[in-house]
Amino acid sequence: MSTIKVDKLTKIFGRRPKQAVKYLEENKSKDEILELTGMTVGVNQASFEVQDGEVFVIMGLSGSGKSTLVRMLNRLIEPTSGDVWLGDENITEMNKEQLRDMRRKKMSMVFQNFALLPHKTIQKNAEYGLEIQGIDKEERAKKASEALELVGLGGYMDKYPSELSGGMQQRVGLARALANDPEILLMDEAFSALDPLIRKDMQDELMDLQQSVHKTIIFITHDLNEALRIGDRIALMKDGSIVQVGTAEEILMEPANDYVERFVEDVDLAKVLTAGHVMKRAESISVDRGANVALRLMKDSGVSTIYVVDKKKKLLGYVTADEAAKAAKEDKGLSEVLISDIPTVQTDTLLADAFEPMADDKAPLSVVDEDGRLVGIVVRGSVIGALAGNDDVLNGNGGVGING
């Protein structure tokens, strides 16, 4: 499988681009070059790598060069200089035939205004990429219907694009791209033409879909919230240059310069950071241990609550110090005194969604994985710290990394 490596990719619009490239290498700005040569810098020496299965978002305002950049990846726009590597193949050096083959099999694109063929049915639209490859009718019908089922449009095959809503049309666009089973999906402002509620649904669905298809997705957007929601990593562009590449947290908490900082200052951190980002290691005890052991552990680590798990680390509930002391006195087991009716969240729960369960219970909020196993706890102090922009309280990757 291949990763994409973009190396100093540059696009100059104008008649003598070589001269402008030379100026760029001398670190002249876009405005200076426009003044000196009359040529426009579309993309200025962009370099980045995209890993296999990653959702990589290229984000910037209009005119920042993001659409030009994505079109150079499949050479809908010819780069002026620089390289695009797909695995060990250099796309910029492919001849026409190799390029066509690469577009047919490895890289599909989804467009802002859907770009469906109005004279063909949904089914035929989804088949387009396969038809171009010369795949026989039955097989392409089968693959296209599978792709349409995948995006939830199984029942619309005989309709025409104009009979569908915008959100549904873009699902067809997505199905058409997926039908080819490409390694890479290029999505150019794919959801920008949709109204906000539909856009959010589509983002969620794309992420669900990504769980099952595991494509490498390069997603272009001008919407910061969209970038933060779906991007594993984000590249921020300004005036044709990439100003920062990083995860959502890195961009929010450690902006590379003033531009990025101004860009992200209005972001609601509670809708970006997750329980995984702020959770701490939990003190836990197996349910078959005695109450005295629980008391001892709490005393040693200076906490007033301990989490009780079974042999498989599955969370059963917690025991407070008072309850444990009482149980020790009355010689009861932990299972008899533990409070089992407690709210839990998962590592990917947004902080915004964790506020309510946190308010319901005085004890720290417990974070469990899909099988109900305890992975950490969230204390109020970390949440407040994180929302205040203090990155000391964050776990590096938003995953299961735990700093005690």
Counting Cβ atoms within 10 Å, is residue 230 exposed (0-12), middle (13-18) or buried (19+)?
buried
> Is 129 near other proteins (CB under 8 A)?
yes
> Is 203 near other proteins (CB under 8 A)?
no
Smaller CB distance to other proteins: residue 131 or 310?
A: 131
The one segment of 124-132, 158-166, 255-263, 311-319 that binds other proteins by CB under 8 A: 124-132
Measure the CA–CA gap between 102 and 92, rounded to whole angstroms: 12
For other proteins, the binding residue among 117, 207, 359, 400 (CB under 8 A) is 117
Phi first, then psi, for residue 371 (nearest 5°) are -95, 10
Residues in 172-201 at the binding interface with other proteins, rule: CB under 8 A: 176, 180, 186
User: Positive or negative, the Cα torsion across 172, 178, 182, 183?
Assistant: positive
Pairing of strands 365-368, 305-309: unpaired
> Is 108 near other proteins (CB under 8 A)?
yes
CB 56 within 8 A of CB 32: no
- The torsion region of residue 302 among left (phi > 0), alpha (psi -120 to 50) and beta comes to left
Measure the CA–CA gap between 291 and 334, rounded to whole angstroms: 6
Task: Give least dist CB 365 to other proteins, A.
Answer: 46
The one segment of 99-107, 224-232, 256-264, 394-402 that binds other proteins by CB under 8 A: 99-107
> Is 132 near other proteins (CB under 8 A)?
yes
Task: Give least dist CB 183 to other proteins, A.
Answer: 14
How far apart, in Å, are the Cα atoms of 109 and each of 112, 189, 335, 396? 10, 11, 56, 32
For other proteins, the binding residue among 103, 140, 229, 277 (CB under 8 A) is 103
The one segment of 16-24, 94-102, 195-203, 225-233 that binds other proteins by CB under 8 A: 94-102
For other proteins, the binding residue among 26, 78, 119, 302 (CB under 8 A) is 119
Residue of 326, 330, 280 lying closest to 307 (CA atoms): 280
> Is 101 near other proteins (CB under 8 A)?
yes
Residue 291 CB contacts under 8 Å (≥ 6 apart), including other chains: 319, 324, 325, 327, 328, 332, 333, 334, 337
> Is 104 near other proteins (CB under 8 A)?
yes
The one segment of 123-131, 203-211, 285-293, 351-359 that binds other proteins by CB under 8 A: 123-131
Task: Give least dist CB 199 to other proteins, A.
Answer: 19
Residue 68 CB contacts under 8 Å (≥ 6 apart), including other chains: 11, 42, 43, 77, 240
Residues that bind other proteins (CB under 8 A): 71, 74, 76, 100-105, 107-109, 111-113, 115, 117-119, 128-129, 131-133, 176, 180, 186
